Amino acid sequence: MSETEVDLEAEKYEKHREAGEILAQVREEAADRVAVGTTQLEVAEYAEERIRELGGEPAFPVNISVDEEAAHATPSADDDTEFGEEMVNLDIGVHIDGWIADTAITVDLSGNPELEEASEEALDAALDMVEPGVETGDIGAEIESVIDGYGYNPVVNLTGHGLDQYQQHVSPNIPNRAVSQGVELEVGDVVAIEPFATDGTGKVTEGNDEEIFALEREGSVRDRQARKALEQITEEFRTLPFAQRWLDAPRAEMALRRLKMNDIVHGYPVLKEDDGKLVSQKEHTIIVTEDGCEVTTE
């Protein structure tokens, strides 16, 4: 590796760390604002603006998943939904020049602290296992064992994931259950580990609601509003997920519909636990080191 390549590699990790430092602060500030009677939009917009104030950019819209929701839920521009006595998961991302940190925390307003604790303890146990050469399937087995010990089930069709520049989900996947064929982690891998625990059977399926989207491919459309939206998506968000409420184009919903019809963007339907049961989540981003890992989002 040339001296220039070494410098670029070092700069990449520094940007991951910077993103993680911002994210750790924003996560705690946002979690403190989750309370019965506060609106979801207020918390989401606070966190996204705070990320920018601190020198980062949102890597994706703040996910606010409530009760049986597990992922991909974010408020719309005119959403006035208030938090109730619910289990609330905040999943937040920050990037610096495309280098990402990803974290999640459960704020339990529902009176089920053990379910919240199950995902938190599973994450701690997984982090303790990380070192070069450990197989991702073994990490998944440890996550499953801890959650099972609480009397709950892991969500088996959601996984942790690698992170790359402007790419939120790349290999390796980090399962939340034991799998026979895993991937060995290597020094320098940047991954997000995110156990999900539930008092349901442990599978999620897609619902009907979509508020988060991402660019699928380059393309062109005739509609003026769709072209304006595509220009913003390409220049501002690139391949990272974005919220419909982030778009400046008038009639953004219609513009997105046209872009979807042309397979230029795709949506992320809200994922819900199959039995309608509660889901908790805890997530950190790590860099694999020679003797373990560095948690960038603590």
Annotated binding site for substrate: 72, 169
Given the residues 21, 57, 67, 91, the one annotated as active site: 91
Given the residues 117, 142, 283, 284, the one annotated as active site: 283
Asked about 102 being catalytic, the answer comes back as yes
Q: Which helix (H) or strand (E) holds 101?
A: strand 99-108
263, burial (CB in 10 Å: exposed 0-12, middle 13-18, buried 19+): exposed
Given the residues 95, 161, 199, 273, the one annotated as active site: 161
Asked about 95 being catalytic, the answer comes back as no
**Omega before 132 cis (within 30°)?**
no
Given the residues 102, 108, 117, 189, the one annotated as active site: 102
Query: In Å, how far are 32, 83, 164, 203, 289 from 36, measured between CA atoms?
Result: 12, 5, 36, 28, 41
Q: Please, are residues 238 and 57 in contact by the beta-carbon 8 Å criterion?
A: no
Asked about 283 being catalytic, the answer comes back as yes
Report residue 120 as tokens. 């938190």
Alpha carbons 118 and 76: distance in angstroms, whole number: 30
Asked about 5 being catalytic, the answer comes back as no
Asked about 91 being catalytic, the answer comes back as yes
Asked about 11 being catalytic, the answer comes back as no
HSE (CB half, 13 Å, CA atoms) of 222? 0
- Rg, Å, the chain Cα set: 19
Beta pairing partners, 135: 184
Given the residues 164, 169, 274, 294, the one annotated as active site: 169
Alpha carbons 119 and 105: distance in angstroms, whole number: 9
Q: Name the binding residues for a divalent metal cation.
A: 91, 102, 161, 194, 283
Q: Name the binding residues.
A: 72, 91, 102, 161, 169, 194, 283
- Helix axes of 252-261 and 224-232: crossing angle, nearest 10 degrees: 90
Catalytic residue annotation: 91, 102, 161, 169, 194, 283
